[in-house]
A and B are shown apart, each in its own frame.
Chain A
Amino acid sequence: MKVVVVKPERCVGCLQCRFACAVAHSMSESPHAASYETVLSKPRIHIGLSKNKDLFPNKCRHCDPAPCEMSCLTKAIFRESTTGTVLINPDRCINCGMCAMACPFGVVRYHVYVNNKTAAHKCDQCISRQQKGKVPACVDVCKVGALLFEDYNKVMDRDTDEISSLVYLGIRAKEQEKGAYQSLTEYKRSLEELRRK
């Protein structure tokens, strides 16, 4: 199952994903016409700023089991069986606000976007684009690789491999130098250097 995987450490905060998301979910799907639509399309990905000014692209994780799906009173939130995406049916949504309460990542918002009624609004992993064989819009425009559209397990495997090889290289480099690292930051910096090599 492919999902959008977020790498917060790579994000530079250009907000291109937000723009692309809003355009991809607009009626016209055109960046020029989208801003003239009566009901403005809203982005479904949020870039949060931490107190250290670190950027954090925050979007729906499509959890399994999904707390929002469990808390939904009218079963407006459901899991699409083929891709495993958690979707919202705005016609059934009664705007009770339970999903915002249940979501552990705070990604659910309430907007008017279909049928002139306020309904829960969150990432649908661009399911209509996926059916056309495209990747989600935010992943398409991300220039720095902070958003990836891949199998979650593959990304995890790759990251683990990378870390383990780096740790191995770090230990070897340390043995050659025969000096202890002064701090964890220094160790991390040396790992970064190794990665660049």
Chain B
Amino acid sequence: MNAVIIGLSAAGLSCLGTLMRFSPQVNVTAISEEKSLPYCRCALTHYLGRIVREDQMVIADISSYPANVKFILGEKVETLNLSKKTLMVSSGKEVIYDRLLIATGSNALKPEYCDEEKRTFTLRYMGDAKNIEQYARDKVTVLGGGFIGIKAAYGLIERNLKVEMVVSSSYPLSMVLDERTARFVENDLCESGILFHTADDVAEVNMRKDGVAVSLKSGLELFSDVVIVGKGVKPRVDVARRSGLKIDLGIMVNEFLETSAEDVYAAGDCCETMDVARKMPWINALWPVAVEQGYFAALNMLGLVTSYPGSIGMNSLKTRSFHLISGGVLKEEDGVTTFEKHFPHRKQFRKLAVKDNVPVGMAFYNCPDDAGLYINLIKKGTPLNVDPERIVNDEVGIADVLRPL
């Protein structure tokens, strides 16, 4: 069997590893656009904070794979012929597949003011991080209060730079957190030195002599060496769209991660899978989710039919002063009850959103020990057999929660 993997990041590598583990004799061709060895994108913010070196970010050694795995690096996939089961790479070489995995990932959303000449960068590739590093001397402005923005800002704070953040909503992390939890994060980040401009947006970005000036809608002007934009990601589906696969926002897949064409699978940021907490197709562009999808896609590609249980949006934000773990949807909706408890002396805050006795969202602040337990309850849609009030009060242990109903 010839398996072909497009994209060699989280989902692609996970798929490759799983294929090699369960069926070492299968012929695999992995195509990647980047010439360098696969590295971890999520660690770019840590790279900015000088927590990791560039060589530590490499996550796979291509030379260690057996001879039946071939790599085509630095080449794009130009066309994909679903009826002939072939694809053409940019050098003109044709590759035949029996099973194909599309793991093209996503690109950072670039607003129109994003320009290298204006020293305004998104943070998605190693080149971006190097550009930011090259210009950042004293002051940096971060636009966007999502996880990527905050992690980048914190990384730069670790480097003793002055960081100002512009957040368009009234509090950071507004997509995943509710206001009360977000305020804890904001306070702690302010203490570490990040200056927030909330409920404000960018009007214009201008290049000045040795610096960038960001004018805000409120009339304020921020002057800095470099601007980082973290406004979310957009799935890369151009090849899939040209080939005629069914696409909504990302590539549409069924529960076995198979696309509308036979023997073509999709995984990672480019595909739209079921969100368990939202109960609708959703793109959770996260590294752990992509790895999981790569694993399940590989099993299905090998004919070991396994349905993918679905993902939830989850993230972990760890700094020197706090550790926030959030998952699912925390927004107040019909039928959703939220439970919360703050322990000021322990600097802990727990919040749990429950719908019909099934947890749908959580945010645990400074209590990482049992957070994973509830993340997994949300992921599996397991009904709670303890009072949610007792969970947020930290009165129950793992033995109560995991005890069968």
Instruction: Tell whether B59 is near chain A: CB-to-CB under 8 Å.
Output: yes
Which partner residue on chain A sits nearest B320 by CB separation? A118
A50 CA / B399 CA spacing, docked (Å): 6
Q: Do A50 and B396 touch (CB < 8 A)?
A: yes
Q: Do A73 and B371 touch (CB < 8 A)?
A: no
A95 CA / B395 CA spacing, docked (Å): 27
Interface mask (B368-388 → A, CB under 8 Å = 1, otherwise 0): 111111011000000000100
Q: Do A98 and B288 touch (CB < 8 A)?
A: yes
Q: Do B397 and A50 touch (CB < 8 A)?
A: yes
Q: Shortest Cβ distance from B313 into chain A, in angstroms? A: 12
Interface mask (A48-64 → B, CB under 8 Å = 1, otherwise 0): 11111011101000000
Interface residue ranges of B249-291 to A (CB < 8 Å): 287-288, 291
Residues of B near A71 (CB, < 8 A) are 287-288, 291
Q: Do A73 and B373 touch (CB < 8 A)?
A: no
A52 CA / B397 CA spacing, docked (Å): 10
Interface size class of B (residues with CB under 8 A): 35 or more
Which partner residue on chain A sits nearest B288 by CB separation? A71
Q: Do B397 and A100 touch (CB < 8 A)?
A: no
Stretch binding the partner chain, chosen from B50-58, B109-117, B331-339: B50-58
Q: Do B46 and A105 touch (CB < 8 A)?
A: no
Interface residue ranges of B1-22 to A (CB < 8 Å): 14
A73 CA / B43 CA spacing, docked (Å): 7
Q: Given A58, A65, A92, A110, which contacts B368 in the complex, CB threshold below 8 Å?
A: A110
Q: Shortest Cβ distance from A8 into chain B, in angstroms? A: 7
A149 CA / B59 CA spacing, docked (Å): 33
Given A71-B287, A110-B368, verify A97-B318 contact (CB < 8 Å): yes
Given A73-B40, A100-B325, verify A105-B398 contact (CB < 8 Å): yes
Instruction: Tell whether A189 is near chain B: CB-to-CB under 8 Å.
Output: no
Q: Shortest Cβ distance from B318 into chain A, in angstroms? A: 4
Given A8-B399, A51-B395, verify A94-B52 contact (CB < 8 Å): yes
A52 CA / B396 CA spacing, docked (Å): 9
Instruction: Tell whether A108 is near chain B: CB-to-CB under 8 Å.
Output: yes
A37 CA / B125 CA spacing, docked (Å): 42
Interface mask (B56-84 → A, CB under 8 Å = 1, otherwise 0): 11011000000000000000000000000
Q: Shortest Cβ distance from B103 into chain A, in angstroms? A: 15
The interface centre, meaning the residue of A71, A97, A101, A102 with most chain B CB atoms within 10 A of its CB, is A101
Residues of A near B369 (CB, < 8 A) are 100, 106, 109
Q: Do B14 and A74 touch (CB < 8 A)?
A: no
Q: Given A51, A70, A96, A101, which contacts B400 in the complex, CB threshold below 8 Å?
A: A51
Given A48-B399, A70-B14, A94-B43, verify A106-B316 contact (CB < 8 Å): no
Instruction: Tell whether A104 is near chain B: CB-to-CB under 8 Å.
Output: yes
A34 CA / B66 CA spacing, docked (Å): 44
Q: Do B316 and A97 touch (CB < 8 A)?
A: yes
Instruction: Tell whether B390 is near chain A: CB-to-CB under 8 Å.
Output: yes
Q: Do B323 and A97 touch (CB < 8 A)?
A: yes
Interface size class of A (residues with CB under 8 A): 20 to 34
A97 CA / B288 CA spacing, docked (Å): 12
Q: Do A106 and B399 touch (CB < 8 A)?
A: no
Interface mask (B164-179 → A, CB under 8 Å = 1, otherwise 0): 0000000000000000
Residues of A near B43 (CB, < 8 A) are 73-74, 94, 96
Interface mask (B299-333 → A, CB under 8 Å = 1, otherwise 0): 00000000000000011111000010101000000
Q: Given A48, A55, A65, A94, which contacts B51 in the complex, CB threshold below 8 Å?
A: A94
Instruction: Tell whether B97 is near chain A: CB-to-CB under 8 Å.
Output: no
Q: Shortest Cβ distance from A44 into chain B, in angstroms? A: 13
With A67-B376, A75-B60, A105-B373 given, name 9 new contacts (CB 8 A). A48-B399, A51-B395, A94-B43, A96-B43, A97-B368, A101-B288, A101-B316, A102-B372, A105-B398
Binding site for B on A (CB under 8 A): 8, 48-52, 54-56, 58, 65, 67, 70-71, 73-75, 92, 94-98, 100-106, 108-110
Could you name 10 residue pairs across A and B whose Cβ atoms are closer than 8 Å?
Answer: A50-B397, A50-B399, A67-B372, A71-B287, A96-B46, A100-B369, A104-B376, A105-B373, A106-B369, A106-B373
Q: Top 6 nearest A-B pairs by Cβ distance?
A: A71-B288, A97-B318, A56-B399, A97-B316, A50-B399, A104-B376
